[in-house]
Amino acid sequence: MAMTEAALMGVDLGTSSAKVVIIDEDGNVLAQASSKYPISTPAPNWAEQDPESWWSAVKEAIRAALNILGPRRILAVGFSGQMHGTVILGKDFKPLRPAIIWADSRSERQCRKIYELVGKKRVLEIACNRAMPGFMAPSLLWIRENEPEIFKKIHQILLPKDYIRFRLTDSIATDYSDASSTLLFNVRDRRWSRELISAIGLEEEYFPEVRESVEIVGEVSDKAAEETGLKPGTLVATGGGDSPVGAVGCGLIEPGAVSSNIGSAGQVFTTVDEPKVDPRYRINTFCHASPGKWCIQGSILSAGLALSWFIEGLGFKELLKDGDAYEVLLREAESIKPGSNGLIFLPYLIGERSPHMDPYARGVFLGLTLTHGRQHIVRSIMEGVTYALRDCLEIFKELGVKVERIIARGGGSRSRLWRQIQADIFNARVSTVRVREEAAFGAALLAGVGAGVYRDLHEAVERAVRIEETVDPDPDHVKVYERYYLEIYRKLYPALRDYFRLIADILQRSHD
């Protein structure tokens, strides 16, 4: 393919925005654009999004990127998307209700119900993961129990990025990485589990065919071409979940390095050759977007989300009108010494996944005094998120994963301060890659493999992925963080766990 004429597009359907990256075969970014959409919280613990708002944002971002690109032709499009979410379609293939997304925590009771229906041991054997709110299986069971008329009308069930690809191509499919995050999939055997699906009252036929992330599964339809500006017949690859595809964008397709992702949520991620499952199920085991591979992942629910809550939710964005609020506050936080003058933050603002798997966990500031200002709070949030990611890394080490090199990705990787905090708390060298929109970039590489630009993902990574910057841990900082982490942070959640549940009980009674 002569890349002076053609290019590859990656589309990442994130939690707050759709991002589009267009690259050439050597990984050079030719154009990029994004478009935002909101999260709806119509009731406590709910998190929903309108699939139509996704499609509108994707169309807008694609058009904007194409306007920057100019006359080059897009050869193929690949996808990445937020994982776990539930999109249900009727016979007309239109959504029956808003999508329930990963951040939703309404279905804690349904998680227990799934264990009752199938047996906890059996669920863990098949799915390789605990039942947690926000996963597709408990969300579907919640719909069955609370919206039975809608549940009866279900004709097709899709994950978020698969709905957008359907709108682009009129073809329905999913991939192994995204399917394995539903709690309805046999992760070891890489197939839908009829046993788990039937337990919530559905048929296997409601779920799409599962394909490798690099496979071409459709072409841009005439209607979608008119709406997006893409050419009819443009090849479209399956794509995958945002965490595995982001790992592809960092070059993590074989065992070795670990990635640390700080987006709205946060993950630590590594590739494994066969399913490796934590005996205590504190982290997740999924199929990888890299064909024939699996991955293990520790996930925290509030990473960048915690920082945006403080900066935007508490009004600093409006208060600091003379500059970018994030830039101002992060610059202030750089002046604070490691440990934030004794202020420690637990980032459990919407519950927690790894390692505690506790939807009742809540955020905590410990050690507040009159000496603390907003700059201490911002730094303590960044440190608290990184401590939480280290909790996950410690489990990796228990499972025999060597943490020798870490690739920082997501929005947090753009902050010099946050990169240094990660290096110091992890006590490891932390690198970044040249293209920071790793999920959209990884999606473009998947499309390139599907279209034959690259023989396989190994060639794609070798040609396109480049390390840009490396940060080494500061030995003095490491000593400070070790004390805070080992002597205080790790002991806080066990000490507060019962109080989190008590708060939830009191709130529930006040709402009844």
Catalytic residue IDs: 242
Q: Per the structure block, which two tokens stand in for 202?
A: 């559905």
- Report the C-alpha gap between 255 and 305 in whole angstroms: 29
CA distances from 449 to 25, 28, 178, 238, 405 (A): 10, 16, 19, 11, 26
Q: What is the Cα gyration radius of the chain?
A: 22
Cβ-based neighbour number of residue 505 at 10 Å: 11
- Largest Cα–Cα distance of the chain, in whole Å? 65
| Amino acid in position 178 | D
Strand-pairing partners, residue 11, are: 20, 79
Phi, psi of 335 (to 5 degrees): -80, -10
Residues with Cβ < 8 Å from 402, sequence gap 6 or more?
Answer: none
CB 497 within 8 A of CB 457: no
Residues with Cβ < 8 Å from 275, sequence gap 6 or more?
Answer: 128, 187, 188, 285, 294
Q: Which of 111, 162, 174, 172 is nearest to 137 (CA)?
A: 111
* 3-state secondary structure at position 365: strand
* 3-state secondary structure at position 230: coil
Where helices occur in 455-489 by DSSP H, the ranges are: 457-464, 475-483
Q: Which of 69, 78, 59, 76 is nearest to 18 (CA)?
A: 59
CB 275 within 8 A of CB 286: no
- Report the C-alpha gap between 464 and 236 in whole angstroms: 20
210-211 and 174-175: which strand pairing?
A: parallel
- Report the C-alpha gap between 512 and 508 in whole angstroms: 6
